């Protein structure tokens, strides 16, 4: 094996090529390439650079932490309430474009927007309470 071939093997390994591919490209036998790589610490490179990801694992959309899914429960996308709030805050613009509905408050007649078609009648909980308990009494 020439020095040039050795260099080429190292380069190709760094690009993530398999032993067979390298052997073919350089006209060497696969076992020659394999033993050369193992002797020169070029062996495990491919598998160590790509961390295998278990397909059933879910990650928090905000912080990327692995989520513990409880079977039977609704699948959550966040590891915690904090992350959910953070994500929603930073993605509000996107969310807003998707599905924001405009409503008119039954009590104060102010228009307000809410995410999703939730059939809201009041702009705030306050208005809801006031309409329910004071509504009939105001002249
Ligand atoms: Zn998180
Ligand atoms: Zn209101």
Asked if 35 and 13 sit in the same domain, the reply is yes
CA 127 – ligand 2 centroid, Å:
5
pLDDT of residue 48: 47
Query: Is 139 a member of any domain?
Result: no
Assess if residue 138 is contained within a domain: no
pLDDT in tens, 28-63: 999 998 888 788 888 765 544 555 555 567 889 899
Distance, CA 96 to ligand 2 centroid (Å)?
20
* 104 CA from centroid of ligand 2 (Å): 8
**pTM here?**
0.33
Q: Give me the number of domains the chain comprises.
A: 3
Mean pLDDT of 4-19: 88
Query: Residues 66-123: pLDDT tens digits?
Result: 887 666 666 778 888 999 999 988 877 665 566 778 889 989 999 888 877 667 889 8
Domain that holds residue 106: 96-133
- Please say whether the beta carbons of 32 and 23 come within 8 A: yes
Looking at the domain assignment, is residue 74 inside a domain? yes
CA of 128 to the centre of ligand 2 (A): 7
What's the gap between Cα 8 and its chain centre?
Answer: 37
Query: Which ligand sits nearest to residue 124's alpha carbon?
Result: 2
Residues 20 and 43 in one domain: yes
């Amino acid at each position: 094996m020439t020095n040039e071939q050795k260099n080429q093997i190292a380069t190709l390994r760094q690009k993530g090529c398999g032993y067979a591919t390298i052997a073919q490209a350089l006209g060497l036998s696969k076992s020659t390439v394999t033993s050369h790589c193992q002797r020169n610490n070029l062996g495990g490179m491919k598998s160590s650079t790509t961390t295998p990801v278990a397909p059933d694992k879910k990650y928090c959309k905000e912080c990327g932490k692995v989520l513990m899914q409880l079977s039977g429960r609704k699948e959550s996308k966040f590891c915690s309430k904090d992350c959910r709030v953070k994500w929603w805050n930073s993605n509000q613009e996107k969310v807003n474009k998707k599905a924001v509905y405009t409503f008119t408050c039954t009590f104060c007649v102010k228009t307000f927007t809410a995410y999703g078609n939730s059939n809201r009648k009041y702009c705030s909980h306050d208005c809801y309470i006031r309409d329910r308990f004071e509504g009939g009494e105001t002249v």
